[in-house]
Chain A
Amino acid sequence: MTDIDSRIDEDLDRRDSAPGEESITEHEPAGGLPGYLLGFGLAILLTIASFLAAQTGLIYQPAVISALVVLAIAQMGVHLVFFLHLTTGSDNTNNVLALAFGVLIVTLVVLGSIWIMGHLNQNMAPMSAHQAEMMP
């Protein structure tokens, strides 16, 4: 294939973009160099916020986990939009649907495991003194 062929190939899909493709969004905030810079800056801010949330005593201790999870989800969103160029445009529908299904499975596996194993721990038979020593 020559270079000219490949350019025609790229022109083919104005309405169906590959995951991570950014030629579509060059005129949008998430496209081009400004997009990468903006995403980099936001990711740094969210990372600093995460480390602060975990280490300062300002946040009510049982709520720290919620703050961290929210900040992590926000940062993943930043990565998806600014680095992977995932948008809600109609040319991106296939990519977003695949992602949505992945998120569903991940949620089921992680939350389901924590939920079920939490119940199993509660329903365990009482331990002997020796077993209790081995527990954390």
Chain B
Amino acid sequence: MSDATGAFSSDIAAGSATSDAYRPGHGHGNAHGWATGHGQGGPASKFVTVAYGFWIFLLSDIIMFSAFFAAYAVLAKATAGGPTGKELFDLTRVAVQTGLLLTSSFTGGLATLATQRRSMAATQFWLLVTGLLGAAFLFLEVQEFAAMAAEQAGPSRSAFLSAFFALVGCHGTHVGLGLLWLGTMMAQLWVKGFRPEILRRLHCFGLFWHALDIIWVAIFTLVYLLGASS
């Protein structure tokens, strides 16, 4: 490993000293320019390949969510005489949930910045804040589901409610699993410190958490706001 690393870094040093073939307008088409991950200069570093693989997973996860979104969009009016979204959704609760998850995403970013400074205390603190905000979000969601089930508006009431519980519940499950992952990462970081594999896992967790917030943007817009306004 150390041999290969030495060879790569000397290639990079040579490349940046001359010009960069992969920055059009900045270089002059130097055929000897090396850049990892472009078929030259060897494979990209493990940090890049791991994060890219996780990025592909996240996109496939989003594609799975799109199937739930499609089912909900098709069935949104199929209430079978039962309660509609307008009667069920409490926008104040949704606004609080949105604020919690958005702030959680932001503090997750602050944890990433603390990680770059290699500050253990700050990283653990922001990760803890991120987790607490996520847990509060999940608590509000479970409360909402329980209230709906108590009002005879459970998932078996209508096709609309089946699709609603499947979509929002799937997102909630992701948040719950993310919290477990977050706790594991805090423990691993505490015990093992800023080792390369821990940094990779923390980075993947950050990607996961931000992606969940992006999916929530689609949910609060298309499910709650659209359902309550029409």
**Residues of A near any B CB (own CB < 8 A):** 1, 3, 5-6, 8-23, 32-33, 36, 39-40, 43-44, 47, 50-51, 53-55, 61, 64-65, 68-69, 71-72, 75-76, 79-80, 83-84, 90-91, 94-95, 98-99, 101-102, 105-106, 109-110, 112-114, 117, 133-134, 136
Contacts and interface: CB of A to CB of B under 8 A. Distances in A.
Contacts of A64: 226, 229-230
Given A5-B196, A13-B37, A110-B69, A71 B74 contact: no
B57 to A, nearest CB: 11
Given A20-B206, A20-B207, A98 B56 contact: yes
26 contacts: A1-B195, A8-B9, A12-B8, A15-B20, A15-B23, A15-B36, A16-B36, A19-B55, A20-B55, A21-B203, A33-B113, A36-B110, A43-B102, A47-B98, A54-B229, A55-B91, A61-B229, A75-B217, A91-B22, A109-B63, A109-B66, A110-B70, A113-B71, A113-B74, A117-B74, A134-B80
Interface in B1-53: 1-2, 5, 8-9, 12, 16, 20, 22-24, 35-38, 44-48, 50-52
B74 A18 contact: no
**Chain A interface main SS type:** helix
A102 B55 CA distance: 11
SS class, residues of chain B in contact with chain A: helix
Given A13-B44, A83-B109, A106 B213 contact: no
Contacts of A117: 74
List 9 tightest A-B contacts by C-beta distance, closest first.
Answer: A18-B51, A113-B70, A16-B37, A102-B59, A54-B225, A19-B55, A72-B221, A6-B196, A106-B66
Contacts of B113: 32-33, 36
Contacts, number: 194
B48 A68 contact: no
A14 B51 contact: no
B120 to A, nearest CB: 13
Contacts of B201: none
Q: Pick the most buried of B51, B109, B206: most chain A CB atoms within 10 A of its CB.
A: B109
B84 A110 contact: no
Contact of A12 (B5, B62, B69, B221): B5
